[in-house]
Structure 1
Amino acid sequence: MAFSCAAECALSLACARWPARRLSLSGADDSASWPAASPASFASVPRACRAALAAYDDADAGDVPPPSPLCPPYRLLHDRARGEVVLAVRGLGLARPEGYRLVLDAGGPEPFAGGHAHRGLLRAAVWLLEREGPALRRMVAEAGPGRCMLVFVGHSLGAGVAALAAVVAVRCWLGRLRLRREDVRCYAMAPPRCMSLGLAVEYADVVHSVVLQASPLSAEIAAS
């Protein structure tokens, strides 16, 4: 009896080691072995961050669509000087119950594009494109063929919606918008795990995950 109890305790400790380690890690630990971004690849990130912050600003109700239980709040921006149509989605709002409903609407992996996606975030992405489709077509047409980029930006929960919206746009909306795959970009700030690895790799040229973390170089810069 004593031996079986000891074996059960050892097995329980072994099984608990992995979740305990995962709970003690941060995003910086997961990406510690990733190569640092080059200045050229990072050049668009500050502008994308400003667009993501704009989605949190609801002071000007005229620019912010009314809240929806199907999608986090967002902003649609047209930067004519740069030839960019930007769809920015905000992250989880602690006082917004619709955000929690999206997160909890997992229901198991949702089959999508030969892989799997988070069901709630995928539904939000499809709803967002259908809702803003006419405005996107109008803005892209205004810029003219080959002269416009469609940029999706999101932070946290919104990053998952933006990433999946970019994938849906590439798969299903290029013909409607008269865009090419290389005309679509997504900058996902601190994104959740919203799609299977195969999909993430297939669309790595479109969806750019942004993970900010401390590094020896940044420490040297801060100390200088």
Structure 2
Amino acid sequence: MAAMVERKPLEAPKNLLEAVSMLAEAMKHAHMEARGTWHLFDLSRAILHAIMDKGKKTVARECSERSDCVQLKTPEILKELHEFKTLLTRTMLFTSRKAFAVFDEEDVLLRKTTARILRPAFTVIRDRKSKSLIVFIRGTRSLRDMLTDALCAPISFEHIIYSHGSEQSGNKKVSGHAHRGMVAAALWVKKRCIPVLLDALQHHPDFKIKIVGHSLGGGTAALLTYKLREIPQFSSSTCVTFGPAACMTLELAEFGKPFIISVINGSDMVPTLSVFSVHDFISEVLKLVTKMAVRK
């Protein structure tokens, strides 16, 4: 059963009343999804299944079964992997004050350390060494982050393709659905980081823009990258995510391959756990129960 698609725009709550109303809406949606099919308690079963499923494919296993997979050992690849490791280390450090010792105070262009519902913690850094402007988005760390995760109803999402100095419209776009809470979070970060990035590019026009995130921050970073690339000055923005939460449908994900890199550790469940995967799991369980009942 496909989840209901939300069409109502979602914005970060401006006060406590809006926050309570938003959470009530999310609980109502979850109840309607569960009614007659599955219960919210089944989510824990789905998570356990994801963790314990020994038959799932890993990257190593799939590559061993394919003839077109090769181990990459070129200096360029090793250099890129080293860059990923540096970004991952910084992403982990940016949950504490220690990370900022790596940069001069003047290179920390914007810093939002306290997360709210649909307002993730993020930091904009000027990295002179790599000539990059980096937006780090923090993953789930607080109850407020978890509530952003919980607003997971699919919502329509499209990316307008920017090319050759002009915005292309009509059929020059890719459409799909994305995680409602992460879309709202990405739009909130976009609104706040654009002025900072534009100002920095005026002083450093040769700098590249990178969006980096982990878990909830990874999904938000990917969606933010789509929206930034619609702006002429940011059309070459790239993204690196670590263990990103499932946040978009396949067509959108396929389109983002040239500019979004997702690094996943083995069978990490976060990138594959979504409303749809839970529905698929419950559907499989119901089919199994039905077969067992027929046999009896």
Q: Is TM (by shorter chain) over 0.5?
A: yes
- Counterpart of 2:227? 168
- Counterpart of 2:260? 207
Q: How does 1:104-115 map to 2 (within 5 A)?
A: 104-107=150-153, 109-113=154-158, 114-115=175-176
Counterpart contact for 1:55–1:73, Cα < 8 Å: no
1:57 aligns with 2:110: no
> RMSD value over aligned CA atoms?
2.6
Note the residue ranges of structure 1 that are not aligned, 5 or more in a row: 1-18, 215-224
Q: What CA distance in whole angstroms lies between the structure 2 residues aligned with 1:25 and 1:149?
A: 40
Q: What SS is found at the alignment partner of 1:81?
A: coil
- Counterpart of 1:198? 251
Counterpart contact for 2:150–2:181, Cα < 8 Å: yes
Note the residue ranges of structure 2 that are not aligned, 5 or more in a row: 1-45, 64-68, 159-174, 268-296
1:39 Cα deviation from its structure 2 partner? 2.3
Q: TM-score, structure 2 length as denominator?
A: 0.56
1:74 Cα deviation from its structure 2 partner? 1.6
Q: What CA distance in whole angstroms lies between the structure 2 residues aligned with 1:82 and 1:169?
A: 20
- Counterpart of 2:199? 138
- Would the alpha carbon gap of residues 142 and 168 (structure 1) be closer, same or farther in structure 2, given more than 3 Å must change? same
- Counterpart of 1:46? 85
Q: What CA distance in whole angstroms lies between the structure 2 residues aligned with 1:204 and 1:52?
A: 21
Q: What CA distance in whole angstroms lies between the structure 2 residues aligned with 1:73 and 1:189?
A: 16
- Counterpart of 1:188? 241
- Would the alpha carbon gap of residues 30 and 167 (structure 1) be closer, same or farther in structure 2, given more than 3 Å must change? farther
Number of aligned positions between the proteins: 184
Q: What CA distance in whole angstroms lies between the structure 1 residues aligned with 2:58 and 2:49?
A: 12
Q: TM-score, structure 1 length as denominator?
A: 0.72
- Counterpart of 1:6? none
- Counterpart of 1:31? 59
> Percent of aligned positions with the same letter in both sequences?
22
